[in-house]
């Protein structure tokens, strides 16, 4: 084994450890989250999923980010995770990446929690197929094939993006919980 491949294998193990740590922090909230938490709007201006006439959900979106940016709800954040993580997994598996409009939010509560856990399983299966040498290949996402960024960078980006979204969801859930009247 070359030194580079050995280092890449250790890098993959470290990235996997970081992902597992982030996911364990997410599970803390997923185990406690309630259906009403997903659509709770903490501010006057929020981005959230909204019921469509056909029974599915549509999400608030703007091609140009507004100023100020609306506060996302847990529902919107969970949809956002599904979008970017699904696209990252598509790239890691060599599939055609899904379009944003094709990512349908499952709805508040258990359907979304199960969807997020399923995304985790799909991501782990993709990671398990990678070798240390794969980490050195140019990543097509999220930097659109810039040769300076490798698959290892993409995995690190997934970890960072997930950590950020987990913190946002956790903070929103905690704000909602402490805002409830005590029984």
Q: Peptide bond preceding 68: is omega within 30 degrees of 0, i.e. cis?
A: yes
pLDDT of residue 6: 52
Q: What DSSP string runs through 37-65?
A: HHT---SSSEE-EEE-TTS-EEE---SS-
In Å, the largest CA–CA distance within the chain is: 62
Q: Report yes or no: 49 and 39 within 8 Å, Cβ to Cβ.
A: yes
Q: Report yes or no: 36 and 86 within 8 Å, Cβ to Cβ.
A: no
pLDDT of residue 105: 98
Q: Which long-range contacts (CB under 8 A, 24 or more apart) does 151-160 make?
A: 151/92, 152/8, 152/11, 152/12, 152/15, 154/88, 154/91, 154/92, 155/12, 155/15, 155/19, 155/92, 155/127, 156/15, 156/18, 157/88, 158/19, 158/85, 158/88, 158/123, 159/15, 159/18, 159/19, 159/22
Please, what are the domains in the chain?
Answer: 12-61+68-179 (1.20.120.450)
pLDDT of residue 131: 80
Q: What is the pLDDT along the chain (183 residues), one digit of tens a residue?
A: 344 545 778 888 899 999 999 999 999 999 999 999 999 999 999 999 999 999 999 999 999 999 999 999 999 999 999 999 999 999 999 899 999 999 999 999 999 999 999 999 999 999 999 887 788 888 888 877 678 899 999 999 999 999 999 999 999 999 999 986 666
């Amino acid at each position: 084994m070359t030194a580079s491949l050995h280092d890449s294998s250790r890098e993959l193990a470290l990235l996997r450890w970081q992902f597992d740590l982030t996911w364990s922090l997410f599970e803390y909230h997923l185990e406690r989250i309630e259906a009403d938490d997903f659509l709770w709007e903490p501010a006057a201006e929020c981005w959230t999923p909204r019921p469509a006439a056909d029974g599915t959900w549509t999400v608030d979106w703007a091609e140009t980010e507004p100023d100020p940016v609306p506060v996302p709800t847990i529902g919107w954040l969970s949809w956002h995770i599904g979008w970017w993580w699904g696209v990252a997994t598509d790239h890691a598996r060599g599939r055609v990446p899904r379009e944003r409009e094709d990512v349908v939010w499952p709805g508040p509560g258990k359907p979304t929690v199960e969807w997020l856990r399923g995304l985790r399983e799909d991501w782990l299966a993709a990671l398990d197929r990678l070798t240390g040498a794969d980490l050195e290949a140019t990543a097509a996402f999220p930097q659109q094939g810039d040769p300076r960024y490798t698959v290892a960078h993409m995995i690190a980006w997934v970890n960072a993006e997930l950590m950020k979204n987990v913190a946002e969801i956790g903070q929103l859930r905690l704000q909602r919980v402490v805002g409830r009247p005590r029984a």
